[in-house]
Structure 1
Amino acid sequence: MTPPKADPKDQLLDAALLHVPFDGWSPATFDAAVKDSGLDPALARALCPRGAVDLAVAYHKRGDVRMLEALAEADLSEMRFRDRIAKALRLRLEAGDRETIRRGSTLFALPHHAPEGARLIWETCDAIWTALGDTSDDVNWYSKRATLSGVYSATLLYWLGDTSEGHGATWSFLDRRIDDVMQIEKLKAQVRESPTLSRLMAGPNWLLSQIKAPRSVRDADLPGRWTPPR
């Protein structure tokens, strides 16, 4: 039986990873990847119209896939939910090479690539929440992903500069950030349970209740939908 052929874009990405630590996600890296992979330059450009930028995006998404695979194999049954989130974020950071990720962070920090970088982080956090069984269909769908995006971004930057053994300082930093988020959730619960504050927040809460999550993140071009009052 003839083994299936490797995906051309994966071949190109694998070839590029040998050059990224030295040349970043640059035209030089893309040209070297085309040469090393043996792909037709026209095919390579068709697969990656933006060259190395598209390969950087593919590398990020490959990390998401690896994180989800590792998360599916992990035993989370005895973990508190906040520890499951920490586990997922740790698996995501460990799903790639640190220098390669550093180069990607530099690329997506550029003003003209920053929106795409933000989108990739959002997709990573959406993948985590979905994998952990989130079923929210209101404004909480957005707030959960926005909050986790902030935690992930901050932890990523800390991890890139962490020289502690086994990145222990990073995991402590991550735990503190999640604890901060849990404090916010406790405050929100206190507001909901207070009759006085509940009355004061009745208007804003009604407005927020009209915001719905996308029916399908993959099928929707817009970040969400608005349900008008009847």
Structure 2
Amino acid sequence: MPAETSPPTDREALLDAALMHVPFDGWSEAAFRAAVRDTGIDPTLARALFPRGAVDLAVAFHKRGDARMAERLGRADLLGMRTRERIAFAVRVRLEVAGDKEAVRRGVTLFSLPPYAPEGARLIWETADAIWTALGDTDRDFNFYTKRATLAGVYSSTVLYWLGDDTPDSSATWAFLDRRIEDVMRFEKVKANPVIKRVFAGPEWVLSRMRAPRARDATDMPGRWSRPSPQE
């Protein structure tokens, strides 16, 4: 007998229904209303679940991709991979679980608009954070931020390339991704140069005081600053 599956929640049902209309209407009010109509969910409840309508649906679509990626990475055997291989694998998984390329394209368009660009940047950051977390990153100092900022740049450029890629199995995209990661690794080698390290010794000391955000921080701030001790 096939395994029993639980029925989708109202949120999931609305998102799945909206994805049928997004290729034609984008992440728009028309797509949101069509999803409400198709699911038969009370419009008041639908608006309570997604107050901004299709914008919140687009956010939910992106976050569902992050969750599915983390689930797949949790089942994958990553121990035999080098760091760059694990990163490339994780980005590839993230694009594969997105599934609907047109929905991603419409999302890129939406979050490129000035009112939603900050939220789009936050979503990309969260994806980079989800990847590093799934890969077991333990850095809590300034490297926490540099790793995610760098990966966010690699991921976002790869998404744009992928959207225009029509090669079999997206082979050109994976080659592009490998080149971007190689560029980052080359930059890291330059940073390790003793001359460069002396030049940036002062800024690095300041940045070393930064810490990754706590899991439960009462200030709800994106990070924290530790006061230098008298000896420093």
Q: Same fold (TM over 0.5)?
A: yes
Q: Secondary structure at the match of 1:103?
A: helix
Q: Secondary structure at the match of 2:222?
A: coil
| Fraction of identical pairs, as percent | 64
Deviations 1:10-54 (A, max 9, x none): 111111111111111000000000011111100000111100000
Q: How does 1:206-217 map to 2 (within 5 A)?
A: 206-216=205-215
Q: 1:84 to 1:216 in 2, by over 3 A?
A: same
Q: How does 1:91-130 map to 2 (within 5 A)?
A: 91-96=93-98, 97-130=100-133
Deviations 1:168-197 (A, max 9, x none): 11000000000000011111222xxx2x65
Does the CA contact (< 8 Å) of 1:214 and 1:220 recur in 2?
A: no
**Number of residue-to-residue matches in the alignment:** 225
Q: 1:132 to 1:122 in 2, by over 3 A?
A: same
Structure 1 residue 5 displacement after superposition: 4.9
Structure 1 stretches lacking a partner, 5+ long: none
Q: 1:3 to 1:63 in 2, by over 3 A?
A: closer
The corresponding residue for 1:51 is 53
Alpha-carbon distance in structure 2 between the residues aligned to 1:207 and 1:62: 37
Deviations 1:96-152 (A, max 9, x none): 211111111111111110000000000000000011111111111000000000000
Alpha-carbon distance in structure 2 between the residues aligned to 1:171 and 1:14: 28
The corresponding residue for 2:86 is 84
Alpha-carbon distance in structure 2 between the residues aligned to 1:218 and 1:98: 36
Q: 1:61 to 1:79 in 2, by over 3 A?
A: same
Alpha-carbon distance in structure 2 between the residues aligned to 1:161 and 1:219: 43
TM-score by length of 1: 0.92
Alpha-carbon distance in structure 2 between the residues aligned to 1:218 and 1:167: 41
TM-score by length of 2: 0.91
Equivalent position amino acid for 2:16 in 1: D
